[in-house]
């Protein structure tokens, strides 16, 4: 894990993000590398990713509210880019750390946010996904680092609801017509069984 001093900027970002979301009553959850570091194996991450539930008609208002909490957009066309990609790119002014805010709307994303658990990190309360939900997100993202993060979470967590993981990953694999998402997850799961023997 990074040294505590290295964590200070990330904690400042989390503190201000949570304040922004609470002020607007916006449900959200920390995802990405930071969540993977906390639920699996600590690793270096230079940005923060959040999944939030905000109706598209309120994105402009949500973005404007972020400025009051120290978050500025990273692109002039931030709103147009968000409408195209479902991701709002902002930067925390105080720390200079980039934050990617994913606008969720799928049933799984709504469930993941609703199931989030609040944890204390260095005096900051932050919502984290359940390990199963992060595994699903990582399986769908499907980059080499995501697969490594899944391995780390599987190694760190002895009790996981793998039926839930498989069900959602199977649905995403079918919807996206990407069977490799499920195949690569299944390839990681037998390794877990071997370790437990």
Q: Are residues 60 and 136 in the same domain?
A: no
Confidence of residue 127 (pLDDT cuts 50, 70, 90): very high
Who wins on pLDDT, 149 or 1? 149
What pTM was estimated for this model as a whole?
A: 0.91
What pLDDT score does 190 carry? Answer: 63
Give the mean model confidence (pLDDT) for residues 142-147. Answer: 95
* Spatial separation of the C-alpha atoms in residues 58 and 108, rounded to whole Å: 21
Mean pLDDT of the chain: 92
pLDDT over threshold 70, residue 45? yes
pLDDT over threshold 60, residue 62? yes
Give the mean model confidence (pLDDT) for residues 119-146. Answer: 95
Q: Which of 87, 106, 129 is the last residue of a domain?
A: 129
Pair type for strands 87-92 and 98-103: antiparallel
Rg for the chain (alpha carbons), in Å? 17
Tokens of 6: 């290295």
Q: Which residue has the tokens 């120290």?
A: 70
What pLDDT score does 2 carry? Answer: 42
Q: Are residues 142 and 90 in the same domain?
A: no
Provide the domain count of the chain.
Answer: 2
Q: Which residue has the tokens 């017509």?
A: 177
Residue 116's CATH number = 3.30.460.40
Q: Which helix (H) or strand (E) holds 49?
A: strand 47-52
pLDDT by residue (tens digit) across 63-95? 999 999 999 999 999 999 999 999 999 999 999
pLDDT by residue (tens digit) across 187-196? 998 655 555 4
Q: What is the span of the domain harbouring residue 181?
A: 130-197
Confidence of residue 5 (pLDDT cuts 50, 70, 90): very low
Q: Which of 101, 129, 157 is the last residue of a domain?
A: 129
Give the mean model confidence (pLDDT) for residues 97-125. Answer: 96
Among the ranges given (15-19, 22-26, 157-161), the one the predictor scored with the smallest mean pLDDT: 157-161
32 class by beta-carbon count within 10 Å (0-12 exposed, 13-18 middle, 19+ buried):
buried
Sheet holding 71-73: strands in order across?
28-31, 47-52, 98-103, 87-92, 71-73
pLDDT by residue (tens digit) across 19-38? 999 999 999 999 999 999 99
Q: Are residues 25 and 120 in the same domain?
A: yes
């Amino acid at each position: 894990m990074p040294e505590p001093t290295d964590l200070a900027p990330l904690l400042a970002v989390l503190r201000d993000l949570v304040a922004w979301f609470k002020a607007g009553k916006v449900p959200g959850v920390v995802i990405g590398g930071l969540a993977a570091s906390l639920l699996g194996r600590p690793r270096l991450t230079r940005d923060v990713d959040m999944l939030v539930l905000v109706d598209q008609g309120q994105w402009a208002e949500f973005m404007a509210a972020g400025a009051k909490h120290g978050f500025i957009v990273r692109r002039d066309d931030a709103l147009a880019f968000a409408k195209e990609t479902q991701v709002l790119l902002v930067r925390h002014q105080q720390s200079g750390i980039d934050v990617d805010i994913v606008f969720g709307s799928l049933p799984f994303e709504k469930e993941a946010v609703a199931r989030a658990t609040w944890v204390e990190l260095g005096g900051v309360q932050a919502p984290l996904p359940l390990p199963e939900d992060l595994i699903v997100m990582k399986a769908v993202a499907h980059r080499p680092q995501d697969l490594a993060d899944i391995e780390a979470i599987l190694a760190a967590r002895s009790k996981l609801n793998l039926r839930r993981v498989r069900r959602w990953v199977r649905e995403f694999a079918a919807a996206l017509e990407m069977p490799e998402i499920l195949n690569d997850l299944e390839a990681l799961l037998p390794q877990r069984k071997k370790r437990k023997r």
